[in-house]
Amino acid sequence: MTRSRLLWTVLPPVGALLLGLLGWQLVVVLFGIPGYLLPSPATMVHTALVELGTIGTPAWVTMREAYVGFLLAGVGGVLVGLMMSRWRLLERGLYPYLIVLQTIPIVAIAPLFVVWLGPGAVTNTVVAAMIALFPVAANTLAGLKSTDRNLVQLYTMAGASPLVRLLSLRLPGALPAILTGLRVAAGAAVIGAIVGEFVAGVGGGQGGLGYVITESAVRLRTPELFLAVLAACAVSLLLFGAVVLVERRLLGRWHESALPAEE
Q: Are 243 and 176 in contact (CB under 8 A)?
A: no
Exposure of 4 by Cβ count < 10 A (0-12 exposed, 13-18 middle, 19+ buried)?
Answer: exposed
Closest separation in Å from C-beta 163 to another protein: 12
Judged by beta carbon, residue 112 or residue 167, the one nearer another protein is 167
One-letter amino acid identity for 50?
V
Judged by beta carbon, residue 115 or residue 164, the one nearer another protein is 164
Judged by beta carbon, residue 230 or residue 258, the one nearer another protein is 258
Instruction: Look at residues 208, 58, 212, 229 and name the one whose alpha carbon lies nearest to residue 120.
Output: 208
Q: Where on the chain is the footprint of another protein (CB under 8 A)?
A: 148, 150-151, 153-160, 164, 168-169, 172-173, 175, 251, 253-256
Closest separation in Å from C-beta 136 to another protein: 20
Closest separation in Å from C-beta 180 to another protein: 16
Closest separation in Å from C-beta 254 to another protein: 5
Judged by beta carbon, residue 83 or residue 258, the one nearer another protein is 258
User: With b meaning 16 or more CB within 10 Å and e meaning fewer, what string describes 146-178?
Assistant: ebeeeeeeebeeeebeeeebbeebbbebbbbbb
Judged by beta carbon, residue 103 or residue 150, the one nearer another protein is 150
Q: Are 192 and 69 in contact (CB under 8 A)?
A: yes
Closest separation in Å from C-beta 86 to another protein: 20
Spatial separation of the C-alpha atoms in residues 82 and 230, rounded to whole Å: 36
